[in-house]
């Protein structure tokens, strides 16, 4: 069992923001696996697939970012999964655009969605794939940066980071 959760914010105005690259990764992963993300459960939109005999749940929480832990906790309960079966994919300002990084565990850093997940499930011990969104420009507040629409000139670079994250997730679930 793997529950793969992409972090983002609901609503059209957030669709192509840096803070929604986790959702973008779930969309790309669903496309590559042939999964429809259309079931409403656990404050999320989900889709299911069996890969090498293992159940895979793809999820896009429909809560705002800072309440992502509610959806993750519900998903773990619904599927009787442990945090060791969880992978969270999300944006990270400390990673270069166009890249991603995998970690087995760790702190939330400055990410409020991850802070909420860690608080709600009571552990930092779960896998995560962080998609680089680059450093916040000087004189731009963090919240303004992560919620800004990704400029057309940077969408290809960000898409490369999303693809890299999806490749990492596929490698994890194919083991």
Residue 52: the pLDDT is: 87
Chain segment 64-94, per-residue pLDDT in tens: 999 999 999 999 999 999 999 999 999 999 9
Instruction: Render pLDDT for 125-164 as a digit per residue (tens, 0 to 9).
Output: 999 999 999 999 999 999 999 999 999 999 999 999 999 9
How many distinct structural domains can be found in the chain?
Answer: 1
pLDDT at 72: 98
100-133 residue pLDDT tens: 999 998 887 778 899 999 999 999 999 999 999 9
Element (H, E) at 51: strand 44-51
Residue 108: count of CB within 10 angstroms of its CB: 16
pLDDT, tens digit (0-9, with 9 covering 90-100), for 16-49: 999 999 999 999 999 999 999 999 999 999 999 9
Point out the catalytic residue in the list 2, 19, 97, 168: 19
Q: Is 19 a catalytic residue?
A: yes
| pLDDT for 144 | 95
Task: Report pLDDT for 175.
Answer: 78
pLDDT at 172 over 90: yes
pTM of the entire predicted model: 0.95
**What's the CATH code of the domain at 52?**
3.40.50.1470
CA distance 47 to 59: 7
pLDDT number for residue 68: 96
Residue 108: the pLDDT is 76
Domain residue limits at 110: 2-174
Helical residues (DSSP H) of the chain, grouped into ranges: 21-33, 68-78, 112-121, 142-146, 152-174
Residue with tokens 């404050």: 43
């Amino acid at each position: 069992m793997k529950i793969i959760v992409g972090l983002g914010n609901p609503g059209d105005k957030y669709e192509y923001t840096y803070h929604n690259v986790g959702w973008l990764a779930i969309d790309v992963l669903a496309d590559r696996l042939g999964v429809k993300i259309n079931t409403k459960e656990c404050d999320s939109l989900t889709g299911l697939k069996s890969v090498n005999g293992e159940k895979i749940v793809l999820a896009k929480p429909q809560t705002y970012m800072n309440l992502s832990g509610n959806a993750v906790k519900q998903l773990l309960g619904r599927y009787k999964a442990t945090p060791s079966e969880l992978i969270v994919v999300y944006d990270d300002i400390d990673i270069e655009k166009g890249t991603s990084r995998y970690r087995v565990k760790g702190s939330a850093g400055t990410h409020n969605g991850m802070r909420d997940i860690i608080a709600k499930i009571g552990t930092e011990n779960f896998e995560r794939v962080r998609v680089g969104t680059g450093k916040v420009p000087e004189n731009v507040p963090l919240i303004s940066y992560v919620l800004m629409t990704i400029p057309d000139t940077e969408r290809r670079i960000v898409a490369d980071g999303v693809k890299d994250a999806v490749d990492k997730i596929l490698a994890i679930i194919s083991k």
